[in-house]
Structure 1
Amino acid sequence: MTEATPRQGRKGERTRSRILDSAMELFSRSGFHAVSLRDIAAHAGLTHAGLLHHFPGKDSLLIEVLSRRDEIDAKVMSRPDPGDLLGRVVDQVTRNMRTPGLVGLYVKISGEAADPDHPAHQYFVERYQRLRRQGARLLSELFSRASPPLPHDPDAVSQQLIALIDGLQTQWLLEPEAVDMRASVVAFLAQLGLDVPSAPAEPDPSPPPSPATTP
């Protein structure tokens, strides 16, 4: 069997990236169930067989699309000292305001994935378990470092913070000019008595496109 050359490997990576971009766009626009592999292949400029060469099915493609952003965020959040946590959380919210397509994808697919039969159901269950656990651990350290220590329940606050960010994303997608996600998160944290970074947000000035126009 002939091994792939470096050029072939790079071409394959570019093709996979094009497929993932197309899948993200179509899933964001129409949801998981309404999009077929043939739709994605056509959008990516490939044949159906060409797409199957890189991804065996729609379920595996969806999980890889979702995991793509998680990998980026994991690199940013991988070594958070508790003292840096708030800045990292706020920075992540700011980054989300520059990527309406990914935000739309998560909002749409996470809602669909409440169905236990959805292929991304377990992915989101584990994702939220991980976020709650990591958030509670870091918040617990922040609360104990405060002087005097803050009396909040870190498990409850971690859950509330995740719920706040998720809810803000839906409102922002619907009315971006009226919802400042960063400012709302900063206000929530300040109400808990936590020092919040004061650096201004730098969101993409253009509003997120409607589902009728590609994200």
Structure 2
Amino acid sequence: MDRLMERGSGTSRGEERRAEIVRSALEVIAERGYRGATLGAVAERVGLTQQGLLHYFPTKESLLIAVLEERDQWDTGSARRDGAGAWPLALLNSLVEYNAMRPGIVQTFSALLGESVTGDHPARPCFTQRYERVRADMADTLRGEFGDRLPGGQTPEEVAPLLVAVMDGLQFQWLHDPEAVDMPAVFRTFVSLLAARGDEGAGAEES
């Protein structure tokens, strides 16, 4: 009967239910980590039986993929430019500011990222592919901002992994002590360092 009603109203009810499950999974993973999160705990949070949850997500791994995809919808890591050109560097500042307003999402992502380094973790392939994509996006961003060489002489491809590392690493520090680490301000400082000329030190050496 539930399935017939769901079909009768199109897929909207089913999509809403799936979205509700993903949001609850985000919360449970943030609280317990992926390995500590169970389908039963997620089902209980949305008022379903575990069997009812399996109707939407047949495995824990399929739910994890949905969680990562949901998170990436808000992040430049997976947002493609659709021919509109590279993401401006200023947009990354806005993204860091936005992340500072959603600690639960950042906590979930960071927890999964930390766990995914183990070889058998189901999120490992997702993060490996994500980082490959993000590094390419960040290189495009840097090239759009500075051209083929940054003021310090480095190529966008050389600096892109560093830019990604700063963004993700700041999140860990901020989650541990948000009062001590002003994540948006620190990131803006880092961006200003990218724009600093690297020939001042060289000039001093030549003199």
Partner of 2:50: 48
Partner of 2:169: 167
Structure 1 residues 145 and 121 mapped into 2: Cα distance closer, same or farther (>3 Å)? closer
Gap regions ≥5 residues in structure 2: 197-207
Question: For the residues of structure 1 that align with 2:57 and 2:79, how far apart are their CA atoms?
Answer: 27
CA shift, 1:140, in A, is: 2.5
1 or 2, which has the higher helix percentage? 2
Q: Identity of aligned pairs, percent?
A: 36
Gap regions ≥5 residues in structure 1: 195-215
Structure 1 residues 111 and 145 mapped into 2: Cα distance closer, same or farther (>3 Å)? closer
Partner of 2:37: 35
Which protein shows a greater Rg?
2
More displaced, 4-13 or 16-25? 4-13
- Does residue 91 in structure 1 map to residue 94 in structure 2? yes
Question: For the residues of structure 2 that align with 1:109 and 1:191, how far apart are their CA atoms?
Answer: 30
CA contact (8 A) 2:29 2:37 kept: yes
Q: Give CA deviations for 1:107-166 in whole Å, capped at 9, x if unaligned.
A: 1111100012100000000101111111112312322288x9651221221111111111
Structure 1 residue runs of 4+, over 6 Å off?
A: none
CA contact (8 A) 2:148 2:156 kept: no
- Does residue 185 in structure 1 map to residue 148 in structure 2? no
Partner of 2:23: 21
Matches within 5 A, 1:102-141: 102-141=105-144
CA contact (8 A) 2:26 2:67 kept: yes
Partner of 1:154: 156
What TM-score do you get using the length of structure 2 for normalisation? 0.83
Q: Determine which structure has greater relative contact order: mean sequence separation of CA pairs < 8 Å that are 6+ residues apart, divided by chain length.
A: 1
Partner of 1:62: 64
TM-align CA RMSD: 2.4
Q: Give CA deviations for 1:28-66 in whole Å, capped at 9, x if unaligned.
A: 111011111111101111011110000011011011101
Question: For the residues of structure 2 that align with 1:161 and 1:188, how far apart are their CA atoms?
Answer: 9
CA contact (8 A) 1:143 1:151 kept: no
Aligned length: 192
What TM-score do you get using the length of structure 1 for normalisation? 0.80
Q: Give CA deviations for 1:54-105 in whole Å, capped at 9, x if unaligned.
A: 00110110111011121233586635644x5111111111111111111001
Residue identity in the other structure for 2:112:
I
Partner of 2:204: none
